Chain A
C-alpha cells in the first residue's frame, strides 16, 4: 500500500495567516492527489483533485501544488471558517490511502 505522510499533525495560526500543509507519498502517484477538509462533527468536504484543481465552489484561497511524491496545500489567508482538519489522499491505485490529517487551530 502507498503510505501518505502529512506534516505537521497540527498547527496553530492566526486569522489572515498563510498556511501550508505538506503531504508525502511513499512512491510516485502520478498526480492522483486530493485534499479534503473536515470540520468537527461534519462530513469531509472535497477541496482539490489532481494536485491543484479546485472542486466546484471551493474558494481560490485554497491552492495545491507538487509533483512526484511531495505535495502541498496552501491557504492564502486563513479565515475563521478554515479552522478544521485537512487530509490528503492518493487515488492512484488501490487501496486509496489518506494521510493522518492536519488539524488547523486558532492561535
Chain B
C-alpha cells in the first residue's frame, strides 16, 4: 500500500525557518517525481514545489522561490521542504504528493502537516 507521511509542521514566528519531511512507503521512492502542495485555512489548493526522481530538476512557485528549497534522500525514502523567512501567508497545511508519471500528474497524497506562522 502506498503511503506518504508528512511531519515537521509547527507554530513559528515570522522570519523563522522550518523543515518539513515526507516519508514514502509501499513503492520504489526513487522512481517517482514528487511535489509539495499547500492549502491555507479555508482556501483552495496551491502547488508549491516539484522535484524529479533523481533530484536533478526542481521547480518552485513564484510565491516561495528563493525562500523554500525542495530536496530528497532516496536512500531514506524521504522528501523535504526547507522553508526560511517564513511569512504569515505561508500558513497552510502542506501535502506531499507522488507523481505517477509526467503525463499522469499526482496520484497519491499524504495526510498533510500544518504550518502556522504567527507572532
Residues of B within 8 A of A18 (CB): none
A interface residue count range (under 10 / 10 to 19 / 20 to 34 / 35 or more): 20 to 34
Interface residue? B27 (CB, 8 A): no
Residues of B within 8 A of A87 (CB): 44-45
Residue of A nearest to B48 (CB): A95
| A-B contacts at CB below 8 angstroms, number | 57
Task: Name B's interface SS.
Answer: strand
B interface residue count range (under 10 / 10 to 19 / 20 to 34 / 35 or more): 20 to 34
**Interchain CB contact under 8 A, A89 and B105:** yes
**Interchain CB contact under 8 A, A44 and B45:** yes
Residue of A nearest to B99 (CB): A91
Interface residue? B109 (CB, 8 A): yes
Residue of A nearest to B110 (CB): A43
Which residues in A have some Cβ–Cβ distance to B below 8 Å? Answer: 32, 34, 36, 38, 43-46, 49-50, 53, 55, 87, 89, 91, 94-101
Which residues in B have some Cβ–Cβ distance to A below 8 Å? Answer: 35, 37, 44-47, 50, 59, 61-62, 95, 100, 103-112
